[in-house]
Amino acid sequence: MHQVLVNKFGGVEQLQVIPLPDPEPGPGEVVVRLTSIGMNHADLMARRGEYRLTSGNPPFTPGLEGGGVIVAVGTAVSDRTVGQRVILTLDGPKLRGPGQGTYQSHYVLPAAHTIPAPPQIEDVLLGALWLPYLTAWGCLVWRQNLQPGQWVLIPAASSSVAIAAAQVVKQCGAISVGTTRNPAKLEQLQAMPEACFDYLICTDQDSWWRQGKKLTAGRGFDVIFDPVAAGSFLNQEIRLLAPGGTLWIYGLLGQPDVVDVTPLIRKRAALRGWLVNELVEGGMATTAYTHVLNRVADSTYQLPVAGTFSLGEVRQAHITLEKGGHIGKLILVPASISP
Ligand SMILES: NC(=O)c1ccc[n+]([C@@H]2O[C@H](COP(=O)([O-])OP(=O)(O)OC[C@H]3O[C@@H](n4cnc5c(N)ncnc54)[C@H](OP(=O)(O)O)[C@@H]3O)[C@@H](O)[C@H]2O)c1
């Protein structure tokens, strides 16, 4: 098997692929040969030393999600078989402690932490669905209880989480407005059927928020689903909240800065944080897995794949993710390790 290691916190030069003996499953465990490892912004933060809670100290293996084919089954496993296609549960990669992420060709874990995948879902998607769809569905449907006709602002529209959110909003009968900083991406998003935002706004000018206000006939947004959470952008979002609205912060792509929260009082509006792991803590993970798999299997949810890379191309994959020119999900496909 092969495993990616981050030897020291730093740049892509710290990513190294090492060969290891193929693993054996212990009692109750399976070995999954991963065909898909979804890449996430958090992987970059882990490599740089900005996400130690997940990574621990170097050397460590990054990666939050994965899926593939069972290649070995341990004793006392009766409900999984060799050849079965599965997805690691959201908390599966955390069971072995910090730093044992999914950037590897084979993953050993308890059989109970694998979810059988429907045949309609392609191998390349098996490890790339959870973070986009569980993050969006868990927040907007489970936590927010989004209602038909409500207005939802979705910044960083080109990210896989935002595109998943647009699809979830559509299913709820609500109205989505995506934002991007990049005029070229705006045009690309408009041409992509998966990016089913009802409206798109480019935030390259400070006055962008007026367009949002106008779209909502001056009322503002019932819900804002935000991974940016940066000073002036966050100030503008707070101004865009409708009375009683909620701004969910689920990422920190921007630089934290001073924020004026006084409009929240006048609007009786809320600023809340969201972490996808809450689905596991709240006993909702199985419901969420079933929902997402059913909707992907029947093509209601369609994840756009922005690019795939072998494990041997992991440095190039991180450079691509870091540049931010992609739209949708970048995925490591470890079947072959060579570039
Ligand atoms: N809380 C949770 O449970 C959870 C779960 C999953 C992901 N996340 C978070 O979700 C976010 C998106 O993740 P991802 O992996 O899908 O990201 P990604 O593919 O790297 O996409 C990020 C996009 O955000 C936009 N962006 C980047 N920096 C920005 C800034 N300073 N201001 C405004 N927009 C900016 C860029 O698009 P434009 O150039 O088009 O604007 C960029 O392409 C990350 O912050 C990640 O940590 C959180």
Q: Where does ligand 1 bind, in terms of residues with CB under 6 Å?
A: 40-42, 131, 135, 156, 158-161, 180-182, 185, 227-228, 230, 250-251, 253-254, 274-276, 321, 324
d(CA 160, ligand 1 centre) in Å: 8
d(CA 228, ligand 1 centre) in Å: 7
- pLDDT tens figures, 29-81: 999 999 999 999 999 999 999 988 778 899 999 999 999 999 999 999 999 99
- What local confidence, expressed as pLDDT, does residue 316 receive? 98
Query: Any idea which residue has 């079965």 for tokens?
Result: 84
Q: Is the pLDDT of residue 97 over 90?
A: no
Q: Is the pLDDT of residue 337 over 60?
A: no
**Which secondary structure element, helix H or strand E, spans residue 322, and what is its range?**
helix 314-323
Query: Which residues are CB-neighbours of 278 under 8 A, at least 6 positions away?
Result: 138, 143
Among the listed ranges 197-201, 328-332, 333-337, which one has the minimum average pLDDT value?
333-337
Half-sphere exposure for 309 (CA within 13 Å, toward CB): 20
How far, in Å, CA of 237 to CA of 228, rounded? 10
Q: Is the pLDDT of residue 189 over 70?
A: yes
- pLDDT tens figures, 245-258: 999 999 989 888 89
How far, in Å, CA of 85 to CA of 119, rounded? 8
| Dihedral of alpha carbons 143, 146, 152, 158, sign | positive
- What local confidence, expressed as pLDDT, does residue 338 receive? 45
Which residue from 41, 35, 110 is spatially nearest to 67, judged by alpha carbons?
35
With beta carbons less than 8 A apart as the criterion, state whether 177 and 215 touch: yes
For the segment 160-182, the average pLDDT, to the nearest whole number, is: 98
- pLDDT tens figures, 117-134: 999 999 999 999 999 999
Query: Any idea which residue has 């947004």 for tokens?
Result: 221
Tokens of 14: 């710290």
Which residue from 158, 147, 42 is spatially nearest to 102, judged by alpha carbons?
42
Domain ranges of the chain: 2-128+303-332, 131-273
Q: Which CATH architecture has domain 2-128+303-332?
A: Alpha-Beta Complex (3.90)
Q: Which CATH architecture has domain 131-273?
A: 3-Layer(aba) Sandwich (3.40)
- What local confidence, expressed as pLDDT, does residue 206 receive? 80
